[in-house]
Amino acid sequence: MTNFDPVTLEILWARLGSIVDEAATGFVRTSFSSLVREANDYAVVLTDAQGQSLSQSSFSIPSFISTLPRTVRHMIDRFPPETLKPGDLLITNDPWLATGHIHDVSTVAPIFRRGRLIAFSAVTSHVPDIGGRVRSSDVPTIFEEGLQIPPLKLLDGGQRQPAVEAFIRTNVRVPDATMGDIWGQGAAHERIRARLLSLVDESELDLAALSHEICGRSERALRAAIAALPDGEYPYLVRHDGFESPLQVQCTVRVKGSDLEVDYTGTSRQVESKSINVVETYTYAYTAFAVKALLCPEVPNNEGSFRPLTVQAPPGSVLNAQHPVGTGARGQIGHILPVAVLGALGPVMGRRQRAEGSGNCVITMTGREQGRRFTVANFINAGQGASAERPGLSGISFPSNLGNSPIEILESEAPVLVRERSLRQGSGGAGAQRGGDGIRFAFDYVGEENATCSFLMTRRVVSPQGAQGGQAGEPASLRVNGEERDPVSVKLLQPGDHVVLETAGGGGFGRA
Amino acid sequence: MSGSSRAQNRLPVRIAVDIGGTFTDGIAQLGDDGLILTAKELTTPQDPSLAVATVVAKLLEQARAAAGVRGATAEHREVVHGTTLVTNAILERKGPHTGLIVTRGTADALRIAREMRYDLYDLDIELPEPLVDRADIIEIDGRLDARGRELEPVSAEALDAALAQIRARGIESLGICLLHSYLDPRHEQVVAQHVRRALPELSISLSSQIASEIREFERMSTVAANAYVQPLAASYLRRLRQSLENVGATGPLRIMISSGGFTSDQSAADDPIDLLESGPAGGVLSALNTAALTGVTEVLTFDMGGTTAKACVATEGVPAITYLFEAARARRFKKGSGLPILVPSIDLIEIGAGGGSIAYRNALGLLNVGPQSAGAVPGPACYGLGGNDPTVTDADLMLGYLDPENFLGGRMRLDPSLTERAMQRLAEELGITPMKLAQGICEVVNESMACAARVHVAEKGLDPRNLTMVATGGAGPVHAVEVAHKLGIRRILCSVAAGVGSCLGFLSAPARADRAWSNAALLEAVDGLELGRVMQQLRASAADELLSAGVSEQEMEFTVTADLRYVGQGHSIAVDMPFESLDADMPRMLAGLFERKYVQLYGQVLPGGVVQVVTWRLSGRSKQQTRQFHLEPAEAGTSGVRPAGHRQIYLPQRQAFGEVPIYDRYRVPPGSVLQAPLLLQEAESTIVVARAAEVQVLPDFSISITLSQDDRSSQ
């Protein structure tokens, strides 16, 4: 079948979506990583034989919107089709080839039909552990971050490669859980293969023709949305809190006909001492997310959704970081890219223009209590920007989707007593529409001995800005025992310490 | 139960009543041989108990007459009732002025929720509005820790201040949710006692009683919802009992709950949040009862109405249960967009696909169907009530599946020319013929239901090819065969009297009482003695509830369920065993059962994994029995196996129209075997079998369809 009417195409498209969603469902349920389960920190993709994305699991977070098909194409470069056979499973966690940090492990499997390569399945997920130092923004190079897995065959014609598995097992803290997740990816590949083959058999489907058709449709939809914008150059600057020195993201969006270019020239250099650097694929991913959310959120993701978009960031900048800088905490910078793109396109978005919001803060704590080791992480989200039509949302995750931990769960897993989790009334910027409020999270550390902790915070120095005369939101802050602290300086909590963390309010829209 | 009453020449009458948006339906079961009488009244929205009482009065009258013919007297036993009152009260925000008392520092929990977005790409996401205003949430002191130890008592000053605030705000119903009350309810009880002494008329709900589970936001959301509906539910049930007594139905009143059981009217008035899925639960039980009668236990129920389609998986005859339900979703078909409610509910998926679902051309130029629905008004184009958009029902009409002269048993005429006009317009937009469009609408809506079912079945670790589909609802029997075919399901059952399906479910439901105990621990570290003590307490409390629902001790059975997972995993798996096997060895046995179930779901165990229990649950039920129902024999089985007519319908297998016989469903005698393709018409629906299959009429007039083997499935 190579000709598709609007009915057949809809049915086949739905089936491709259901194939990856079914595989994703099984994978999430068996995963040992709390980030996969609670925060959908995974993605499952089906591509054609050229690595062009056909469909993607529905609930994955935006950071994988475009990275995974690229990983497939990198794999094709290293393992040309003539070297692949049924039962092969390729693996890597190289940040530059895959998702931007080594904590995600990606696997790719070729799918053969009657001896011919017709497609690839690809899965990536945040694994429970990858060795190295515990994740923080303070790790200078990738060598301290943990195990690097170069592109390798984990299964060769269905045969396990013991050397590869042994290297992984030896280098991670929880080998059973980490390998459990990787083999869970294997099960997802198997399910996709079986389902795709029965679909192709049943309808004598020409997958390449289908790929051409659906990617073309998605591409045309996005092009139509871009073409509706006035041609021009739209710059926007987002200042970040910075570390030793200030840091900025300079974003210029150029609309020309149905093409959209996002250029990050003018953005700060990569930061050698911190692991907050972003590789080019991740920069592309969060840029593409913003463009899609703004212009055509309802169109399913596939290769066509990316063709009209080009993204440039100068090599060596913090948005196109070069080996071997650390990238583990890439979200610190990556999460402000949607703010930059939304800001740049704001003036031509009419009533959908919006003020800036803030990304999340994270507390990680580890120690010993009654002879047992504990580790907990809690995400504390912030206020979002108001738009012409409505106030900003309070205390909600954007652009990622990381929920909080219930107080009762936190207290049963770690020796803390949570005193308050509330909205910071009035912390959103004033305006015709108010910015969303940030969150105040206060707790006592009540352990027997000191605990190691890390606070990843954002919007502490430069608060989310308003738009069209709206006011900026209140900045984030951290106080320990009543004293204002720089989060980077707090590495230890002592019994009795009282911590108050406040996240930023979103910017207001329009004059109040 | 039955022998003695017949000896005294008295026929027991059991009645079930379901309140729908338009009609209040009722059935009476006369005697124990399953004879069914039916009655129907327009729903009385201002006081739904009025229509219920009228229906019950009619049924009692019919029952007396029918018993008289048999030389017996009718003896009223019970009324089982399902209602959407609770769901509607929350959807339409009709509850009273509700307040909450919570632990200091947690008053914003309802507004903060879990800080997540249910749609990643929607920048203007709409969040569900909490049921209680922030100004009506009162913080008090007092604190337990995560092991249930008291760190700080609730002070008398705090209690007095709270009381003053309740009075000042004019709060009419109160929920209480204090941190760690799932471990120890005493602080909540102290607060409740204090408030009750001062304000004896105030409705009070305790989170430790309504949903004794860890996670403060979800528990608070649940108790807030209970408080929000409690006064309404209590007064409704009081009125209903009175109305029933007025018409001579003095027997016990049982209320259907979300978990697929019934409870006493008193328990329902105390914990009305358990009634959220009352109606849909009845529909599922009815389907399962039909399946059980033919010896089928592995089932996919498929209920398709005017706006939505629902599906539920059952294994070993028991429907899957979920312990977290969402009410009043901001976006109906989006998971995560509703208010979380921690009550055991039959695990249904619902998608926006029904007879009224509208077909349109989407942004990509493709044909899409739903979730927008034309509803009953204006309805599908063929209704002639002003609807201009082609719907699924229009497509069914165009393909010959529906009879324009005989829709809803002839109560309504459909106009094919209006359908053609609506099809014409969209077909031109899409560049296809109207006939191709009608086929496409059916194909697309069937595919979207099959896709949703596929993912749902995968979540349960099952293979759809091993399931039997039971179809209900007005549009269910029209689409069931094609959806089943897409899923690789070979056998489809259609139960009797689709219009009163929920009522049949009410009569076949067991009594049920659920209790939970959250106490996270490694399974190997569980103190068997303590577990035994707690379970005995829960059993006693559940037994009290069952007793009040009219179940004797001998009829009760209890199951202990543990939510288990490997340490570090987020999703747990429910593993159950009979209460009787509760002993010191139970943790070890549960570990074995868990591994077996894990392998079934995921194919392998985790090497070196340590098993952890999150929540213990105790479920008490009356021992289940399958009930056989049949309609008055006079209506049925008189015309033999001759078709009532013939019609051209679209046959997807041949991709062409062909003439098929039409049978009047209730006039084909039980035991008949027919060869499809064919149509079986009845007042409430039409069973469409548009491909090769063997169709059997079962003794109770259920229809069993077995698709031919040579028909390759699409699985």
The predicted complex's ipTM stands at 0.92
Residues ≥6 apart with Cβ < 8 Å to A362: A377, A378, A379, A380, A454, A455, A456
Please say if the pLDDT value at position B120 is more than 70: yes
The mean-pLDDT minimum among B31-35, B249-253, B460-464 falls in B31-35
Angstroms from B670 CA to nearest CA on chain A:
37
- A211 or B667, which is more confident? A211
List the single residue in B with minimal CA-CA distance to A26.
Answer: B459
A289 in Cβ contact with A65 (< 8 Å): yes
CA distance A10 to A4: 9
CA distance B502 to B640: 30
B308 in Cβ contact with B472 (< 8 Å): no
B303 in Cβ contact with B472 (< 8 Å): yes
Angstroms from B571 CA to nearest CA on chain A:
6
Q: Which amino acid, residue B657?
A: F
Q: What pLDDT shows up at residue B375? A: 78
A59 in Cβ contact with A24 (< 8 Å): yes
Terminal Cα-to-Cα distance of chain A (whole angstroms)? 60
A275 in Cβ contact with A379 (< 8 Å): no
Contact state of A404 with B115 under an 8 Å Cβ cutoff: yes
Residue B183 CB coordination number (10 Å)? 21
Contact state of B604 with A418 under an 8 Å Cβ cutoff: no
Split at pLDDT 50, 70, 90, the class of B640 is low
Q: What pLDDT shows up at residue B423? A: 97
Contact state of A397 with B365 under an 8 Å Cβ cutoff: no
pLDDT digits (tens, 9 = 90+) for A260-296: 999 999 999 999 989 999 999 999 999 999 999 999 8
Query: DSSP for B570-615?
Result: SS-EEEEEEGGG-STTHHHHHHHHHHHHHHHHHSSPPTT--EEEEE
CA distance A261 to A220: 16
CA distance B434 to B425: 8
Q: φ and ψ at A87, to 5 degrees?
A: 90, 0
- Kindly state the tokens that stand for B229: 């509906």
- Kindly state the tokens that stand for B84: 């959407």
Q: What is the mean pLDDT of residues B371-391?
A: 90
Split at pLDDT 50, 70, 90, the class of B495 is confident
The SS3 of residue B564 is strand
Closest by Cβ to A418, choosing from B105, B214, B367: B105
pLDDT digits (tens, 9 = 90+) for B584-618: 778 888 889 998 888 777 666 665 678 888 889 89
CA distance B612 to B610: 7
CA distance B275 to B273: 5
- Least Cα distance to B400 among B118, B115, B40, B660 occurs for B660
Contact state of A402 with B609 under an 8 Å Cβ cutoff: no
Angstroms from B613 CA to nearest CA on chain A:
14
CA distance B696 to B682: 16
Angstroms from B402 CA to nearest CA on chain A:
22
Please say if the pLDDT value at position B327 is more than 80: yes
Judging contacts by C-beta atoms under 8 Å, the chain B residues touching residue A407 are 106, 179, 216
Q: What pLDDT shows up at residue B631? A: 65
Given CB atoms, is B115 within the 8 Å cutoff of chain A?
yes
Most confidently modeled range among B81-85, B145-149, B407-411: B145-149
Given CB atoms, is B208 within the 8 Å cutoff of chain A?
no
Burial of B581 (0-12, 13-18, 19+ CB in 10 A): exposed
Please say if the pLDDT value at position B624 is more than 80: no
Judging contacts by C-beta atoms under 8 Å, the chain B residues touching residue A218 are 364
CA distance B615 to B600: 22
Please say if the pLDDT value at position A506 is more than 50: yes
Judging contacts by C-beta atoms under 8 Å, the chain A residues touching residue B112 are 394-395, 404, 421-423, 439
Residues 126-145 of B with CB under 8 A from A: 127, 143, 145
The mean-pLDDT minimum among A102-116, A355-369, B108-122, B517-531 falls in B517-531
Can you point out the beta strands (E) in B43-107?
Answer: 73-82, 98-103
Q: What pLDDT shows up at residue B397? A: 97
The SS3 of residue A495 is coil
Q: What is the mean pLDDT of residues B287-309?
A: 91
Judging contacts by C-beta atoms under 8 Å, the chain A residues touching residue B366 are 6-7, 9-10, 13, 217
Q: What is the mean pLDDT of residues B659-674?
A: 91
A429 in Cβ contact with A506 (< 8 Å): yes
Please say if the pLDDT value at position A299 is more than 60: yes
Contact state of B114 with A403 under an 8 Å Cβ cutoff: yes
The SS3 of residue A19 is helix
Q: What is the mean pLDDT of residues A316-329?
A: 95
Q: How many CA atoms lie within 13 A of B564 on its CB side?
A: 25
CA distance B95 to B103: 24
A374 in Cβ contact with A368 (< 8 Å): yes
A124 in Cβ contact with A102 (< 8 Å): no
Most confidently modeled range among A24-38, B397-411, B690-704: B690-704
A347 in Cβ contact with A234 (< 8 Å): yes
B507 in Cβ contact with B479 (< 8 Å): no
Residues ≥6 apart with Cβ < 8 Å to B552: none
Contact state of A293 with B122 under an 8 Å Cβ cutoff: yes
CA distance B58 to B71: 20
Q: What pLDDT shows up at residue B604? A: 62
Q: What pLDDT shows up at residue A277? A: 96
The CA-based dihedral angle spanning residues B293, B296, B298, B302, taken in that order and rounded to the nearest 10 degrees: -60
Judging contacts by C-beta atoms under 8 Å, the chain B residues touching residue A17 are 451
CA distance A46 to A44: 7
A48 in Cβ contact with A54 (< 8 Å): yes
In this structure, the strands spanning B325-327 and B339-341 are antiparallel
pTM of the entire structure? 0.90
Split at pLDDT 50, 70, 90, the class of A474 is very high
Placement of tokens 């091993």 in the chain: B466
pLDDT digits (tens, 9 = 90+) for B246-263: 999 988 898 999 988 888
- Least Cα distance to A419 among A444, A392, A438 occurs for A444
Strand partners, B26: B17, B39
Residues 310-369 of B with CB under 8 A from A: 361-368
pLDDT digits (tens, 9 = 90+) for A133-150: 866 778 889 999 999 999
Contact state of B608 with A390 under an 8 Å Cβ cutoff: no
Judging contacts by C-beta atoms under 8 Å, the chain B residues touching residue A61 are 120
Contact state of A10 with B366 under an 8 Å Cβ cutoff: yes
Split at pLDDT 50, 70, 90, the class of B634 is very low
Contact state of B367 with A10 under an 8 Å Cβ cutoff: yes
List the single residue in A with minimal CA-CA distance to B123.
Answer: A293
The SS3 of residue B279 is helix
Judging contacts by C-beta atoms under 8 Å, the chain B residues touching residue A383 are none
Distance of CA B243 to the CA centre of its chain: 26
Query: DSSP for B1-47?
Result: --HHHHHTTEEEEEEEEEE-SSEEEEEEEETTTTEEEEEEEE--TT-
Q: φ and ψ at A484, to 5 degrees?
A: -65, 130
Judging contacts by C-beta atoms under 8 Å, the chain B residues touching residue A202 are 712, 714
- B611 or A373, which is more confident? B611
Angstroms from A324 CA to nearest CA on chain B:
32
Preceding peptide of A391 cis, ω within 30°: no
Residues 381-440 of B with CB under 8 A from A: 430-432, 436-437, 439-440
Average pLDDT, chain A: 93
Split at pLDDT 50, 70, 90, the class of A442 is very high
Judging contacts by C-beta atoms under 8 Å, the chain A residues touching residue B604 are 183
Contact state of B121 with A198 under an 8 Å Cβ cutoff: no
B661 in Cβ contact with B689 (< 8 Å): no
Residues in chain B: 715
- Cα separations in angstroms, A279 against A301, A315, A318, A331: 21, 9, 8, 11
